[in-house]
Structure 1
């Protein structure tokens, strides 16, 4: 019996790749053969090849909102990527394509449309990113995470699904996480700090500037990003730093009592699923399109999160908010327990199966 085939795509950051990982086990269980399209040097290549998934490489220019001389040459890279993707579609004959966003997806989605292959996209943020805005006209449906997002998807293509959460993240062990960190005082609450897959200098610097004050009340797990370890703090009691974690992440997140994080959609919905009281420090508009600000505002309005704007972040405010969150954590846990938002895996799988050519 012929297996049904899905080609997945998404890249440029871990946030455009890891949600695909959450869908893969269920797709495989339903009889889909899973393949992936990405770039040669993108973060997606290492992540996906670590899962033993067949990986196809295409060319793709970066999509920028600012002037750069490469803006004149990159459209030709996108065109080349479309041609390469058409070749892959004709050779592999997928029943459907699933796109998670990032600049690599644009040529893949256009190629699938030209080959009359249905495309399901997923948008994590309240407003679509540039890649998804360009790709949306060629998509069959666009799955969204926030209820507020539906009105931003044109052509009656938007469908509210939530975001896919990896099963293993929900099965982490608090004790394993604590054991990994080797904290000596297990009576202290654990603060988990994460600034995105690449880390955040402003969060890293503020935490480390106030580390002694924070450690007087809390243990700290700090995911600081590649190349951002601080040698002078490696032997600090109650403080455990990591550049990046993968297999250990479920245990470390489950060990946390409180979280300080950026406001990327994937991580905040993971915090919601895990019911972790949190302080969100969204990327400022100076260094982003403002999506994290909107994400954080939505979570604050629903009572899931505290928010500190990056421009307002300072030592005094961070310590004040952290202590306040610790005192009021039950209020935030109650709000998260009452949230109607659930793990989006089954909702997205149902959309994929409905529109697949096999159906």
Structure 2
């Protein structure tokens, strides 16, 4: 009986791509389990009906914080817990999707001699995957060919995408939003936690936008209604984003790896507003400018205003993104199975 353990989390972006490959993994492994913390990864993995095993996790804060002093103690505890889980599960391979949540299982797997494979979704390696590669011998799969080219041991595979992404129901979304189809649809997505900067820019631009578009605005948990127009629909979060993508003529989005890959694969007209370097490690800027080569319009947050947003939307409407790479689901599953059988080093 071959078992694989998935790990990763902290944000949905470190979990959903791992879950996307589960249908392919089921063709090759007898048992698929998930090890993670108490955050969003637990909810998503359990929703996917995967056996779930919890460990302590240690989040590194890039700003000065007393909480960083607790990291070594939390990590030691997490590694001990992950070691016990892995001893019981006896996986043939551990697959990490990055994020601080993945480190206890990656370290424990190395300690137990279990091969580790990680996937990097961004243009540059995140901290957890850097540590996994440099210190714990993890095989790194990448979403971008340039990232793989930096190290001959890395393998370019592309980005894993869930199958449901390609089965969005335009009519269902239109009915839910009560749009009659007489106008083009603008979808604004600020990321899983929303975006104050994007929300405020949309608020200022709404009078002009509503002259032309039906606007659906995914605002995050602190959602507000900026207009009483029937052509404006704010929602906190969508569990069926594929339906909104199918409906949308133009999408305004942050430039997280998942969003960029999805918009590219669906060949959407897109305006990408990446998080600035001061608010992240700069990965969204890298992702956005790479996507620009494939038809995305990039608007940096420092340049965001009513006029620049309107201009970017008008520009994006006339061009669709091209796929950056085919979905990597099967390729990743094939590599994991080969590693589990000792055929990839």
What is the TM-score with the length of structure 1 in the denominator?
Answer: 0.91
Of 145, 148, 166, the match for 2:146: 148
Residue in structure 2 matched with residue 81 of structure 1 by the alignment: 78
Contact map agreement 1:95 1:358 (CA 8 A) in 2:
no
Contact map agreement 2:261 2:324 (CA 8 A) in 1:
no
SS of residue paired to 1:73: helix
SS of residue paired to 2:277: coil
Residue in structure 1 matched with residue 268 of structure 2 by the alignment: 276
Residue in structure 1 matched with residue 326 of structure 2 by the alignment: 342
Of 63, 67, 70, the match for 1:70: 67
Q: Say whether 1:94 aligns with 2:91.
A: yes
State the shift of 1:157 in Å: 2.6
CA RMSD of aligned residues (A): 1.5
Q: Deviations over 1:54-86 (max 9, x none)?
A: 111101111233321122221110011111111
CA 1:287 to 1:189, structure 2 compared with 1: closer, same or farther past 3 Å?
A: same
Q: Say whether 1:324 aligns with 2:315.
A: yes
Residue in structure 1 matched with residue 232 of structure 2 by the alignment: 239
CA 1:81 to 1:198, structure 2 compared with 1: closer, same or farther past 3 Å?
A: same
Q: Deviations over 1:226-245 (max 9, x none)?
A: 1x221454x43112222111
Q: Could you tell me how far apart the structure 2 residues matched to 1:168 and 1:216 are?
A: 33
Q: Could you tell me how far apart the structure 1 residues matched to 2:219 and 2:225 are?
A: 12
Q: Say whether 1:253 aligns with 2:238.
A: no
Question: How many residue pairs are counted as aligned between the two chains?
Answer: 342
Q: Could you tell me how far apart the structure 2 residues matched to 1:355 and 1:304 are?
A: 36
Of 296, 302, 314, the match for 1:305: 296
Gap regions ≥5 residues in structure 2:
none
Of 10, 13, 29, the match for 2:11: 13
Q: Could you tell me how far apart the structure 1 residues matched to 2:294 and 2:187 are?
A: 19
Contact map agreement 1:282 1:293 (CA 8 A) in 2:
yes
Contact map agreement 1:117 1:357 (CA 8 A) in 2:
no
Q: Could you tell me how far apart the structure 2 residues matched to 1:16 and 1:193 are?
A: 22
Contact map agreement 2:185 2:250 (CA 8 A) in 1:
yes
Q: Could you tell me how far apart the structure 1 residues matched to 2:236 and 2:19 are?
A: 21
Q: Could you tell me how far apart the structure 1 residues matched to 2:219 and 2:165 are?
A: 19
SS of residue paired to 1:210: helix
Residue in structure 2 matched with residue 229 of structure 1 by the alignment: 223
Residue in structure 1 matched with residue 335 of structure 2 by the alignment: 351
Q: Could you tell me how far apart the structure 2 residues matched to 1:72 and 1:125 are?
A: 28
Contact map agreement 2:32 2:50 (CA 8 A) in 1:
yes
Of 174, 177, 181, the match for 2:170: 174
SS of residue paired to 2:203: helix
Contact map agreement 1:280 1:296 (CA 8 A) in 2:
yes
Residue in structure 2 matched with residue 127 of structure 1 by the alignment: 124
State the shift of 1:340 in Å: 5.7
Of 31, 34, 44, the match for 2:32: 34
